Chains A and B, each alone.
Chain A
Amino acid sequence: MATPLLEIIGLTKGFPGVKALDAVDFALQRGEIHALMGENGAGKSTLIKVLTGVFPRDAGDTRLEGHVIAPRSPREAESLGISTVYQEVNLIPHLSVAENICLGRQPTWFGVIRWGAIARRARAALARLDLSLDVSRQLSSYSIAIQQLVAIARALDISAKLLILDEPTSSLDRTEVEELFKKLRKLRDGGLGIIFITHFLDQVYEISDSITVLRNGCRVGCFATRDLPRINLVSHMIGKAVQQVEALGQKRASTASIRSDAPLLEARGLGRKGSLQPLDLDVRPGEVVGLAGLLGSGRTETARLLFGVDRPDQGTLRIGHQAVRFNSPRAAIRCGIALTPEDRKVAGIIPNLTVRENIVLALQASRGNWRRLPVAEQEKLTDRFIHALDIKTPNREQVIRNLSGGNQQKVLLARWLATKPRLFVLDEPTRGIDVGAKAEVEKLIQSLRQEGLGVLFISSELEEVVRQSQRVVVLRDRRKVDELTEGEISEEAIMHSIATHNLERPAA
């Protein structure tokens, strides 16, 4: 075969206390979509960041079309033809589409920006993706899916040879993913090399030609996608034998643990103008209620209302028979409600504080300013959770920013478990975390249920909702459209409820 488009040999990178990459090899051909798989903390992001010059390397060689390269900044990598699109759209929402595409490399004429040229260039970049938008409109006026495509257009605008997509689909719905894949295939056929990182196994099999698996900073192997059965892929990723992996998927929640019929949480006609149509919702102790629906169907809005982030303007909410009215998360926490938010970075972690500080935060907040938790107790608490949830961190004083996504999520779960909540609202607790951590989170949810907690489980992965919940509430267009009970729950049934128009069951 001809020289590969990109070849990485023996790439090594260490951080204080961790070896993030250990002599990793990687090769990508022209016109190939290559999936990079691995659990959180396996080294995928580090590999990308070293490749694009965000981090300097400790050792190893990178060759692009046979030439040795060592970019020292993403900008330098871009000029070499390596463009990256990150998980979160890294664009500026208030600027126009055209400005976003050309930002940082605006065509100028003696220092004056040529707006006409910018618009033409932006349209040309979008045309490569068969997209025609009004490029003068604000980026934020388009959907996340379109914004994602704009980000790709921006990446391609710099005559890219190599496109890196880091979790591009995590905020897209099914049809949008289809659309994106159609465009990726077209780009691939045009000779572009694409590195694709995702946690969705389905998508890997749908789009990729080959797969490289990383685990603990080492390369496990490189496989042709069609020759690698799915179960073997998972087994490579988590480093366990195939039989163990199969056992994971078969557990199924039962209603046995529901302790009483008296609901822990009882919402009647709870709603808020412009964000959620009035809905009824019950969660009983020892029950996991799934909240399913497409992105933007009102799942997160429901969580925000229940947690006092937004104030409901109609309906009633009872927690354990007591009518409550939350005007802040503090009030909700006092009633024993905990919430892990959908957006971990914005509303979850305190990035520059340590693991210990992040874990004790909510418990300390509920104790108030003056009754400080003694340091010895903080340390005991932290060590207990690091052990119980298997949080991978060099020590408890590590800054949380340096942890992988899955471990950050575990820290957030620990933060709330420390407050001993009665009702746990989990908004996308498994988004962007790897198979192993996902299984651990699911196990945790089931053990919470057995201890008699009520859990409201929000997820875009129907498979997970089906596996976890005893009851599933389906939302569409910010209203409750269906409620499935034990026995009725299946992926098909949920999809059916989401898809069917104008089918509204009379409120039970």
Chain B
Amino acid sequence: MIDWIIDLLFWIVFGTILFFLRGKRIFWTVGALGLLLLFNQFFTPGFFHIQLLDGHLYGSRIDVLNQGAKVMLLSLGMVFVIATGGVDLSVGAVMAIAAAVSSRLLVTEHQPAGVAIAVALVVSILAGAWNGMLVAGFEIQPIVATLVLMVAGRGVAQLITEGQIINFLDPTMVYLGNGHLFALPFTLTLVLLMLLLAFFLVRRTALGLFIESVGDNDEASRYSGINARQVKFLVYAFSGLCAGLAGLVACSNIKSADANNIGLYLELDAILAVVVGGTSLQGGRFYLIGAVVGGLFIQTLTTTLYARNVSSDISPVPKALVIIAVCLFQSESFRARLSRFVRPPGRILKPLGSRPSQNLSTVTPHDSRES
């Protein structure tokens, strides 16, 4: 009975949010997440079950939030990189490096957790700065520049752990990925803090404007006096920081640092999350909240497939199909083309998105004669 009421409340809140987002770019991302949850509401028994145990909330939705924290953190860094017209392929490897550094300091070097975490984060920022130097300083193409660390990073992590899988039990480190704060997983607090930091950078400094400007027209930005190199350098360093945090969460989750597997292929999930969130890979306008919701969407999809007993070998296939569908629906020209089939021809269609589009179709008289 209580479950029913909670579910009802959940959907009322969700529906209200969706209502207020209509016409915004992020509508399609949140809407896709809603559809996925709706599917689970009806077809995945127990998915919506939620309970309070020892003052902690448990349930599939909470799991999604907890598990999704890594991708959400990564996409927070990735969205800025992509907005400058670049991409960061190395975030998975940087996660492994952060995990390796922290656990080595903790276990082998017997350092306190605070030091281990701080050093790991500094190393992650340096790794990001390395990418930034290659891209901004030496003007190497972002894909190639970050591919270097993507491939070499795991080797570096192996060197740090000396090829071992390091296990740890330090309570602070374990709390990062498993602890609870205010009945919710602590990882959510981390995501929220990073989101606030990102919001501060975008809204209270000029970096948001500069990032979009550099991504949209690099040359004109330079003519306007923007330090385009510095901007690019900073976004890669920030992406490194986000990846480092995600790496700490990942190794805390399993209480060990496995340089080979931590963060494997997560860079792809992060890129997808940003794209699903509405940001174009061409750079320019970016959607911060969209990227986080995109991360949540990807995790919900993964968890749904697990819950439906789809084996992990073939789960990428349905995942790919759903993501293609979401991306298509974000495209105004696709929606316009689709509505030609749905609506009677000869009528002028109103734009659905908030931005005016040039290829939004009006159906020409020529069409109506044909049909």
- The interface of chain A, by Cβ under 8 A from chain B, is 15-17, 54-58, 61, 68-70, 72, 307, 309, 328-330, 333, 339, 341, 346-353, 357, 360-362, 364-373, 399, 402, 415
Contact = CB atoms under 8 A, between A and B. Distances in A.
Given A56-B364, A369-B207, A402-B356, A350 B220 contact: yes
Interface stretch (B109-117, B123-131, B224-232, B255-263): B224-232
A329 B225 CA distance: 6
Interface string B201-217: 00011110110110011
B217 A357 contact: no
Contact of B223 (A69, A348, A353, A369): A348
Nearest to A53: B364
A357 B220 CA distance: 13
B364 A57 contact: yes
A68 B367 CA distance: 12
17 contacts: A16-B351, A56-B363, A56-B364, A68-B366, A329-B223, A341-B220, A348-B223, A349-B217, A350-B221, A353-B213, A353-B216, A357-B209, A365-B210, A365-B225, A369-B230, A370-B205, A370-B206
A372 B205 contact: yes
Given A70-B366, A399-B356, A364 B209 contact: yes
Residue from B207, B220, B364, B365 with most neighbouring chain A CB atoms (10 Å): B220
A339 B356 contact: no
B223 to A, nearest CB: 5
Nearest to B231: A369
B366 A369 contact: no
Contacts of B210: 364-365, 369
Contact of A330 (B207, B213, B225, B361): B225
Contact of B362 (A58, A349, A368, A402): A58
Given A347-B219, A348-B220, A367-B206, A361 B362 contact: no
A365 B216 CA distance: 16
Contact of B216 (A329, A341, A351, A366): A351
B285 interface: yes
Interface of B: 204-207, 209-210, 212-213, 216-217, 219-227, 230, 284-285, 348, 351, 355-356, 358, 361-367
B361 to A, nearest CB: 6
Contacts of A307: 223
Contacts of B205: 369-370, 372
B362 A362 contact: no
B284 A361 contact: no
Contacts of B212: 350, 352-353, 357
A61 B225 CA distance: 48
A499 to B, nearest CB: 33
Given A350-B213, A352-B285, A365 B362 contact: no
Contacts of B206: 364-365, 367-373
Nearest to A344: B220
Contact of B219 (A55, A56, A346, A353): A346
Given A365-B224, A365-B226, A351 B217 contact: yes
Nearest to A334: B225
Nearest to A374: B204
B72 to A, nearest CB: 25
Nearest to A50: B364
Nearest to B208: A372
A57 to B, nearest CB: 6
Nearest to B280: A352
Given A350-B221, A352-B284, A369-B206, A361 B226 contact: yes
A353 B220 CA distance: 12
Contacts of B219: 346-347
Contacts of B224: 329, 361-362, 365, 415
Contacts of B365: 61, 70
Contacts of B351: 16
Contact of B220 (A69, A349, A367): A349
Given A329-B223, A350-B220, A369-B210, A16 B356 contact: yes
A343 to B, nearest CB: 9
B362 A352 contact: no
A347 B364 contact: no
A357 B225 contact: no
Contacts of A351: 216-217
Given A361-B209, A373-B206, A330 B364 contact: no
A58 B279 CA distance: 30
Contacts of A16: 351, 356
B337 to A, nearest CB: 11
A415 B230 CA distance: 22
A370 B204 CA distance: 8
